[in-house]
Structure 1
Amino acid sequence: MKTQLTTDMEEALYYYCLEQGDVVVEEVTMPDDQGIVDTLSCRFLTTGELEWRCYEIKATKADFRSKAKLSFIGHYNYFLLPLALYDAVKEEIPDRIGVMVYRPYDGSFTQDLLSPGMLTIVKNARRQELEVDHGRLTQRFMASQAREVRKAKMVAKGLSLYPSEQLFQELKKREISSLTATDSRFYQKFLADLENQTIADLRTELSLLKVEKELHHKKARRRRTEALE
């Protein structure tokens, strides 16, 4: 599970790449068993070629020194580290790998900011040849983008995607005693809204039944009149 620091760094990197004019997506599975890169960006050059950048996000020493495969297969490859971590591990970083450091904003900014912090390149990456097939990398990149679009559409649809029975079972798991004060207020509001909606639906149904009954009586009276004629 990602820590808040890792999530903030990932978000800052996403907006940084957008500002550079790159197309970017997180968590892309590389071809040829090259692992999963944390963030992959693609830049369209004036020559018509594509330039790929891979970013590995590390928030702690343990994370930096883990045995997880580093997917540095792009033309340019970077570590994204908090400043304190960079100071501690900079001697361990290969010459060809660049480094960006993350500094969170201190809260003194009053304007709305998309990014939670600032990124600075403290070590430039050396350009290298792409280490996987360009076409297959493009396919993985597009597949990851499609995944993110699906996720965004699901979020936009919200709870409407889930059947009522599943939502009911989830609510039953949340005992009132285990809810926080805020959760409890929302839960009580949900129950009140549900009750009000049920009452409104019943009133609507009753009105429709009254209309249907009146129509039935009118048809019955018309049949009796026609029979007498």
Structure 2
Amino acid sequence: MKTKLTLALERTLYDYCREAGTMAVEEVTMPNDAGIVDTLSYQELPSGDIEWRCYELKVTKSDFHSKAKLSFVGHYNYFVLPLKLYQAVATEIPAGIGVLIYRPFTKELLATATETPTAPGYLTVMRPPRRRELAVPASQLTTRFIAAQAREVHKAKQMATGLKTFSTERLYQELKKRHQHYDVYDPEANFYDQFIADTQTTAVTALQDELDALNLEHHQLLEQLRSQRS
């Protein structure tokens, strides 16, 4: 289960890649037991060459020291870290691996923005990466990249068809997952609170519409009575 901070890093990195003119997709399984790349980006250079970049997202020390395989198989490879974590593990990062530092947008910074940001924060380059030869065949990277994109398209199509494709049990499971991130200090950020608020608003609106219709019908009946008496 991804934490709120992991999701913030992931979303910010996706925007970062798009702004750089690259295509990116998350959770790409590598061949030959090379692990799973958190985010893989693809870019065709003016020369016609293809450039691959791999990003590993870490938010805690235990996450950084996890025994999970680091899938640094691209031409350029990065850690994406919050600033505090980078300061704690900087000496442990191998030579040649780049580092992107995540910083969330503060309320003060948002207040000065001319446009609403599409991501919760921004990334800065703390350490540039060194170019390497690919650790897996380029053709396999392309195949895995396309497969991961197809998976995301399938997810999007499922969402587009609405909730009717999901069983009640599945919906309940998803609600329980979101409960893990419940923020008592920010009700507007909680899915359940939004759902209840929307339901109540819909109910009130429906009742108001019904009341307006009854009042109109009552008024029309009174007008008919008056016309009959006259």
- Pairwise TM-score range, normalised by the shorter structure: 0.7 to 0.9
TM-score norm. by structure 2 comes to 0.73
Aligned to 1:104: 104
**1:62 to 2:62 alignment:** yes
Aligned to 2:144: 140
SS at match of 1:99: strand
Judging changes above 3 Å, is the alpha-carbon distance between structure 1 residues 186 and 69 closer, same or farther for their aligned structure 2 residues?
same
Q: 1:167, CA displacement in angstroms?
A: 3.8
Runs of 4+, deviation exceeding 4 Å? 168-171, 180-193
Q: Equivalent residues in 2 for 1:120-139 (5 A)?
A: 120-139=124-143
Judging changes above 3 Å, is the alpha-carbon distance between structure 1 residues 128 and 62 closer, same or farther for their aligned structure 2 residues?
same
TM-score norm. by structure 1 comes to 0.73
Q: Equivalent residues in 2 for 1:197-208 (5 A)?
A: none
Q: Equivalent residues in 2 for 1:146-165 (5 A)?
A: 146-162=150-166
CA distance in 2, matches of 1:169, 1:84: 37
Identity %: 52
CA distance in 2, matches of 1:140, 1:84: 33
CA distance in 2, matches of 1:181, 1:102: 29
**1:8 to 2:8 alignment:** yes
Structure showing greater radius of gyration is 1
Deviates more, 1:70-79 or 1:105-114: 105-114
Aligned to 1:75: 75
Q: 1:96, CA displacement in angstroms?
A: 1.1
Judging changes above 3 Å, is the alpha-carbon distance between structure 1 residues 187 and 142 closer, same or farther for their aligned structure 2 residues?
same
**1:42 to 2:42 alignment:** yes
SS at match of 1:54: strand
**Deviations 1:54-94 (Å, cap 9, x if unpaired)?**
00000000100111100000000000000011111000001
SS at match of 2:130: coil
Judging changes above 3 Å, is the alpha-carbon distance between structure 1 residues 61 and 169 closer, same or farther for their aligned structure 2 residues?
closer
Deviates more, 1:139-148 or 1:181-190: 181-190
Aligned to 1:209: none
Q: 1:6, CA displacement in angstroms?
A: 0.6
CA distance in 1, matches of 2:171, 2:137: 45
Gaps of 5+ in 2: 176-191, 206-230
Q: 1:118, CA displacement in angstroms?
A: 1.0
Aligned to 2:122: 118
Q: 1:183, CA displacement in angstroms?
A: 5.1
Judging changes above 3 Å, is the alpha-carbon distance between structure 1 residues 170 and 8 closer, same or farther for their aligned structure 2 residues?
closer
Gaps of 5+ in 1: 175-179, 194-229
Judging changes above 3 Å, is the alpha-carbon distance between structure 1 residues 127 and 181 closer, same or farther for their aligned structure 2 residues?
closer
CA distance in 1, matches of 2:169, 2:143: 40
Q: Equivalent residues in 2 for 1:164-175 (5 A)?
A: 166-167=167-168
CA RMSD of aligned residues (A): 2.6
Q: 1:156, CA displacement in angstroms?
A: 1.4
SS at match of 1:25: strand
CA distance in 2, matches of 1:30, 1:191: 50
Partner AA of 1:142 in structure 2: I
Judging changes above 3 Å, is the alpha-carbon distance between structure 1 residues 50 and 107 closer, same or farther for their aligned structure 2 residues?
same
